[in-house]
Amino acid sequence: MGDRKGVFHKGHDNKGKTSTEIASNKAQSGAEIESEETKGETSTDTTSDKAQPGVKMKVEAIKYGLSKPTRKIIRARTVSNESKT
C-alpha cells in the first residue's frame, strides 16, 4: 500500500493504517471520506486508482452492510438494599 492522504470529516487518525482499517473506521462512524489527493494507490474499495493528484473528489470508501450480526453478552450484578445502607 502506498501513502494515502485524505480528509476525514470525523477526525479519525488513519496514519499508518491500511485501506481496510480506514474502511473499518468509516463503517463504525458512518463518516464519508473526501479524498483531496491520491497517489497511484490501488484499492478494492475506493476509486483512488482513477484519481488525479490534486483533484478534489468524493470516494465511497466503504459500503454499509459488509459486516454480519454479532452477539454481545453483558453481565452485571445488582446492588442490594442491604449493601447500600
Partner 1 sequence: MKVKRKKSNRIRQGDVYKNVEYIEFVKERAGDIEISRIEFPLVIVLTQDCDLERDFEFRYGRKKPKPTTQDKYLLSVLVAPLYNAEHVYLGEHLDQLNIKMEPINKIKSPGENLRKNERPRYHYLEFPSEVPIVPSVIDFKHYFSVNVEYLRKIQKENFVCGVSPLYREDISLRFANFLSRIGLP
Note whether 63 binds partner 1 by CB under 8 A: yes
CA distances from 14 to 1, 4, 76 (A): 13, 9, 35
Note whether 70 binds partner 1 by CB under 8 A: yes
Nearest to 6, CA basis, from 27, 29, 31: 31
CB of 11 to partner 1, least distance (A): 16
Q: Which listed range, 8-16, 36-44, 46-54, 55-63, lies at the site for partner 1 (CB under 8 A)?
A: 55-63
Footprint of partner 1 (CB under 8 A): 30, 60, 62-78, 80
